[in-house]
């Protein structure tokens, strides 16, 4: 079973996943009775007997799983191995839980009880209950493990209990949990940073001694950082080496603090909220954190990504088994100039090249002719759609496509009927300006009346237009985020806002089971495992230049699976960066995820439309492998030099091969495939251009041993040293019985 009690006193548990073990023990300070809930081991899977030994041995200092540090001298503080180090007692590090009682900010927790519950479907949950020595305050640490994933879920609940002496409880830090990375001689971190049109830039470097904070104070996940980190000993590569990963499933502000102590030892604590806000808890009130997820793998960054992808498909996505349709989006083609005739013309062309879902972007509502007005006025633009939008949506459906619409429910323009009617509905503070960004203000979604209003109009819109898809956008971070009527309790809006966004999405889906939702936030500002419980795809970036996109997709794929990565083929030169590129390269890059088209099809010559139709057809024939298969990032720096990504689903193999720089003398020419059955043979279904340039190598119908394809590899035409810039191939192989 995933959670195995290891001793008869009920204070030691082995959390077993298919290939890892996570040991948790409760230790009591013999003098004060204070409880420390410790991570005693996290690494390769151990038998229960070995785990028991490991836990006992961890009392001594010279063990591979680290010294027990909680009863310690001046220089070795208690908290580094704790599951939730608090502000209190002999602890000086960054706390995972910080609470003040009236004016005293210190916790002393004692053990109350622990229980393991069978949650069905191969999942078990361990709850460890702790209570403050004096104040009516309870903390529950929860851990969930499942039989089919190495990802372990943890979260924390805090409660102001009723019945104690009256006390004002203020929570200034409440992380979902802290994870300890076993001792190593060196540590390296991997994470992503970014900006608008430049999201998911992978950074990897030595972890300095000190505290490394990735955070968002924007009320959304943000473009600047994404809530995950991976730690290794500086030796892991794509397919080898131990990697420990932590990710937070939350779409509001967040903070992930990695501490590398001068005495050695690394911990990662992650949770919602950021420095500053204070959440008050009245008697009987509780706060439950979002899940923080931990993953250990012994097989490199590639295996870590595949585990995150598999976990996401099995336990996060609402509709994981569906193949994502090929989408068209009108934004880059028409900007705000949305008309029935214009969209129908684009739709006709989209349908003719094989698009399956047509999404009308911004510009269809209120008096929205540019970005200065009408957010909040969610009725059809009276001049452009005097008869409403139904004819357009029926037209799209009539062409055999699904129909989708862009919305930005959390926003309002000051120049809107909604704002004139409800100026109090936006986030604001007394005696402070209401600063606008992109001419818009943020609606206070923490308010139940705002939530109910959004749910009502969105529900009506979906029903009246028979919509299949919403692109849910969110184009500005919070500023002056207050709710004056709530007084001392107003900081709760940072949490309740996000919860209400989730709730509206969940209830919409419930009421309209066919509806699918894309999460967009000025590109990739809301990409995380929290919103993914209620959405199907992400829009990773407004930058649709295929070269830049390769870098973005590389960072995105570290955690998030290809079936959530929407990618459009747009015009050349690209409207954001001005670079020109062949259609084929643009398609091959977009095919690495959920293929879409976002160019002005009305301006594409017939030859390009025909090529597009052919490539879309090819994508459809392999998309089950790309969207549901296992991803291998094979070689090279994407977008900079020869590189390739490969997908395997059962016996089907697809490789997308890129060479951005035509005259590159260095770098690999042989591409070694991965993840194949070495004993099986594979037949070439599609060889890219290789058949012509490397005779006999990838000729359609030729058969090769899996072992040879992995040991020797293939020689893609796109990788030949001299040729045009931006060459690419799609290679498809299928396992055959010998």
Using the minimum distance from each CB to ligand DGJ, give the nearer residue, 520 or 631. Answer: 520
Distance CA 261, CA 93 (A): 9
- Residue 331 in tokens: 């934004």
Q: What is the dihedral of CA 684, 688, 692, 695, to 10 degrees?
A: -40
Q: Rg (Cα) of the chain, in Å, rounded?
A: 27
As measured in angstroms, the least distance from the Cβ of 475 to ligand DGJ is 5
539 versus 604: smaller Cβ distance to ligand DGJ: 539
Least separation in angstroms between residue 15's CB and ligand DGJ is: 39
DSSP string covering 654-693: EEEEEE--TT--SS-SSB---S--TTSEEEEEEETTHHHH
Question: Should residue 524 be labelled a site residue for ligand DGJ when binding is judged by CB under 6 A?
Answer: no
Residue 167 tokens read as: 């006390």
Instruction: Return the residue matching tokens 């194949």.
Output: 676
CB–CB of 35/110 below 8 Å?
Answer: yes
Whether the upstream peptide bond of residue 573 has omega within 30° of 0, thus cis, is yes
In the complex, minimum distance from the CB of residue 619 to ligand DGJ, in angstroms, rounded to a whole number: 21
Q: What is the nearest approach in angstroms of ligand DGJ to the Cβ of residue 309?
A: 24
Exposure pattern of 184-222 as b/e (b: 16+ CB <10 Å)? beebbbbbbbbebbbbbebeeeebeeeebebbbbbbbbb
CB nearest ligand DGJ: which residue?
362
Report 359-388 residues binding ligand DGJ (CB under 6 A).
361-362
- Provide the token pair at 161: 């209990």
Q: What distance in Å separates the CA atoms of residue 699 and residue 200, rounded to the nearest whole number?
A: 37
**Cα distance between residue 594 and residue 8, in whole Å:** 51
Residue 538 C-beta: closest distance to ligand DGJ, Å: 11
Q: Which region, judged by CB under 6 A, interacts with ligand DGJ, from 46-54, 423-431, 447-455, 520-528?
A: 520-528
Question: Which residues, in sequence order, are bridge partners of residue 412?
Answer: 441
* Residue 607 and residue 582 in contact, taking contact as beta carbons nearer than 8 Å: no
CB of residue 330 to ligand DGJ, shortest distance in Å: 9
| Segment interacting with ligand DGJ, rule: CB under 6 A, options 43-51, 200-208, 516-524, 637-645 | 516-524
Nearer to ligand DGJ, 156 or 543 (CB): 543
Check: CB of residue 170 under 8 Å from CB of residue 153: no
Q: Find the shortest distance in angstroms from Cβ 414 to ligand DGJ.
A: 17
Q: Which stretch binds ligand DGJ (CB under 6 A): 518-526, 550-558, 575-583, 658-666?
A: 518-526
Cα–Cα dist 211/209, whole Å: 7
- What SS3 state is found at 614? helix
CB of 332 to ligand DGJ, least distance (A): 8
**Catalytic residue (choose from 150, 361, 468, 473):** 473
Catalytic residue among 377, 468, 528, 542: 542
Question: Using CB under 6 A, which of 101, 364, 385, 406 touches ligand DGJ?
Answer: 406
Task: Break the chain down into helix, strand, coil percent, rounded to 5.
Answer: 25, 30, 45
Q: How far apart are CA 518 and CA 407, in angstroms?
A: 10
When the beta carbons of 538 and 658 are compared against ligand DGJ, the nearer one is 538
Pick from 326, 455, 495, 520: which binds ligand DGJ (CB under 6 A)? Answer: 520
Shortest Å, Cβ 558 to ligand DGJ: 21
Sole window of 108-116, 274-282, 505-513, 515-523 interacting with ligand DGJ (rule: CB under 6 A): 515-523
Distances (CA, A) of 278 to 75, 173, 218, 409, 427: 30, 8, 16, 27, 17
Stretch of residues binding ligand DGJ (CB under 6 A), selected from 89-97, 274-282, 317-325, 517-525: 517-525
Q: Residue count at the site for ligand DGJ (CB under 6 A)? A: 11
Query: What are the residues whose beta carbons fall under 8 Å from the beta carbon of 735, sequence distance 6 or more?
Result: 650, 651, 652, 653, 676, 677, 680, 681, 682, 683, 706
Which residues are 28's β-sheet partners? 35
Residues in contact with ligand DGJ, shown as a per-residue x/- string from 466 to 485 under the rule CB under 6 A = -------x-x----------
Question: Considering only residues 85, 219, 380, 523, which one is a binding residue for ligand DGJ as defined by CB under 6 A?
Answer: 523
Q: How far is the CB of 217 from ligand DGJ (least distance, A)?
A: 21
371 catalytic? Reply is no
126-165 binders of ligand DGJ (CB under 6 A)? none
Angle between the 340-353 and 606-628 helix axes, to the nearest 10 degrees?
A: 70
Please, which residue, 440 or 557, has the CB nearer to ligand DGJ?
440
Q: Which residues of 609-635 are buried (b: 16+ CB within 10 A; e: fewer)?
A: eebbeebbebbeebbbbbbbbbbbbbb
Among 496, 542, 652, 729, binds ligand DGJ (CB under 6 A): 542
Looking at the Cβ atoms of 193 and 196, the one nearer to ligand DGJ is 196
Q: How far apart are CA 202 and CA 558, in angstroms?
A: 9
Specify the residue, 50 or 577, whose C-beta has the smaller distance to ligand DGJ: 577
509 alpha carbon, distance to own chain's centre: 20
Q: Considering beta carbons, is residue 281 or 575 the nearer one to ligand DGJ? A: 575
Is the distance from CB of 23 to CB of 51 less than 8 angstroms?
A: yes
Using the rule CB under 6 A, which residue among 331, 425, 587, 719 binds ligand DGJ?
331
Rounded least distance, CB 598 to ligand DGJ, Å? 8
Q: Which of 416, 395, 278 minimizes the C-alpha distance to 342?
A: 395
Q: CA-CA distance, 519 to 525, in Å (whole number)?
A: 9
Judged by DSSP in three states, 733 sits in strand
Q: Cα–Cα distance between 222 and 218 in angstroms, integer?
A: 7
Q: Which is nearer to ligand DGJ, 526 or 588 (CB)?
A: 526
Binding residue (CB under 6 A) for ligand DGJ from 191, 380, 409, 522: 522
How near is the Cβ of 447 to ligand DGJ at its closest, in Å? 24
Nearer to ligand DGJ, 82 or 362 (CB): 362
Closer residue to ligand DGJ (CB): 280 or 475: 475
Nearest CB to ligand DGJ, comparing residues 292 and 594: 594
Residue identified by tokens 């002393």 is 108
542 included as an active-site residue:
yes
> End-to-end alpha-carbon separation of the chain, Å?
39
CA dihedral 531→532→538→541, nearest 10 degrees, is: 50
Q: Which residues bind ligand DGJ (CB under 6 A)?
A: 331, 361-362, 406, 473, 475, 520, 522-523, 539, 542
Q: Which residues are catalytic?
A: 473, 542
């Amino acid at each position: 079973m995933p959670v195995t009690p290891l001793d008869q006193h009920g204070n030691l548990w082995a959390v077993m996943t298919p290939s890892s073990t996570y040991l948790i023990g409760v230790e009591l300070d013999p003098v004060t009775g204070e409880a420390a809930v410790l991570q005693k081991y996290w690494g390769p899977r151990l038998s229960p007997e070995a785990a028991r030994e490991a836990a006992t041995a961890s009392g001594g200092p010279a063990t591979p799983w680290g010294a027990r540090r909680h009863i310690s001298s001046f220089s070795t503080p208690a908290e580094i191995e704790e599951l939730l180090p608090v502000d209190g007692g002999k602890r000086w590090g960054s706390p995972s839980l910080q609470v003040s009682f009236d004016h005293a900010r210190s916790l002393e927790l004692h053990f109350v009880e622990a229980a393991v519950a069978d949650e069905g479907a191969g999942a078990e949950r361990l709850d460890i209950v702790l209570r403050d020595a004096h104040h009516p305050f309870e903390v529950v640490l929860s851990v969930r493990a499942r039989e089919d994933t190495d990802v372990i879920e943890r979260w924390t609940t805090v409660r102001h209990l009723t019945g104690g002496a009256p006390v004002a409880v203020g929570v200034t830090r409440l992380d979902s949990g802290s994870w300890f990375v076993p001792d190593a001689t060196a540590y390296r971190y991997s994470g992503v940073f970014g900006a608008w049109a430049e999201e998911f830039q992978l950074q990897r470097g030595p972890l300095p001694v000190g505290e490394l904070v990735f955070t968002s104070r924007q009320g959304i996940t943000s473009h600047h950082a994404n809530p995950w980190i991976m730690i290794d000993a500086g030796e892991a590569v794509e397919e080898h080496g131990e990697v420990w990963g932590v990710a937070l499933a939350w779409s509001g502000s967040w903070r992930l603090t990695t501490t590398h102590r001068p005495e050695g030892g690394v911990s990662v604590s992650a949770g919602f909220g950021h420095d500053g806000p204070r959440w008050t808890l009245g008697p009987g009130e509780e706060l439950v954190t979002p899940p923080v997820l931990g993953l250990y793998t012994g097989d490199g960054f590639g295996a870590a990504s595949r585990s995150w992808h598999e976990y996401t498909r099995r336990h996060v996505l609402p509709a994981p088994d569906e193949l994502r349709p090929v989408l068209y989006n009108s934004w880059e083609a028409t900007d705000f100039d949305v008309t029935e005739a214009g969209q129908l013309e684009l739709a006709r062309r989209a349908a003719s090249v094989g698009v399956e879902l047509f999404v009308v972007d911004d510009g269809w509502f209120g008096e929205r002719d540019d970005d200065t007005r009408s957010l909040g006025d969610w009725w059809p633009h009276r001049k452009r759609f005097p008869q409403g939008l139904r004819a357009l949506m029926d037209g799209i459906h009539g062409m055999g496509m699904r129909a989708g619409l862009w919305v930005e429910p959390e926003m309002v323009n000051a120049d809107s009927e909604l704002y004139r009617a409800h100026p109090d509905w936006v986030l604001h503070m007394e005696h402070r300006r209401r600063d606008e960004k992109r001419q818009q203000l943020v609606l206070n979604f923490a308010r139940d009346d705002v939530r109910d209003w959004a749910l009502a109009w969105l529900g009506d819109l979906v029903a009246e237009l028979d919509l299949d898809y919403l692109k849910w956008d969110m184009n500005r971070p919070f500023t002056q985020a207050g709710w004056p009527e709530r007084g001392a309790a107003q900081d709760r809006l940072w949490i309740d806002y996000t919860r209400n966004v989730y709730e509206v999405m969940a209830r919409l889906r419930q009421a309209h089971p066919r509806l699918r939702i894309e999460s967009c936030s000025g590109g990739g500002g809301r990409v995380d495992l929290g919103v993914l419980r209620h959405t199907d795809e992400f829009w990773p970036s407004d930058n649709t230049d295929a070269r830049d996109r390769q870098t973005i997709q590389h960072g995105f794929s570290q955690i998030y699976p290809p079936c959530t990565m929407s990618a459009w083929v747009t015009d050349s030169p690209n409207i954001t960066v001005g670079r020109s590129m062949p259609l084929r390269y643009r398609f091959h890059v977009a095919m690495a995820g959920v293929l879409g088209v976002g160019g002005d099809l009305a301006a594409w010559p017939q030859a390009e439309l025909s090529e597009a139709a052919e490539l879309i057809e090819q994508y459809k024939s392999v998309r089950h492998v790309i969207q549901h298969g296992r991803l291998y990032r094979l070689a090279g720096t994407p977008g900079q030099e020869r590189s390739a990504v490969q997908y395997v689903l059962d016996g089907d193999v697809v490789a997308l091969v890129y060479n951005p720089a035509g005259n590159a003398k260095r770098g690999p020419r042989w591409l070694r495939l991965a993840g194949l059955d070495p004993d099986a043979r594979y037949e070439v279904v599609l060889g890219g251009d290789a058949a012509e340039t490397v005779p006999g190598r990838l000729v359609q119908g030729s058969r090769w041993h899996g072992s040879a394809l992995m040991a020797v590899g293939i020689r893609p035409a796109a990788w030949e040293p001299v040729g045009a810039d931006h060459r690419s191939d799609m290679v498809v192989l299928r396992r055959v019985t010998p």
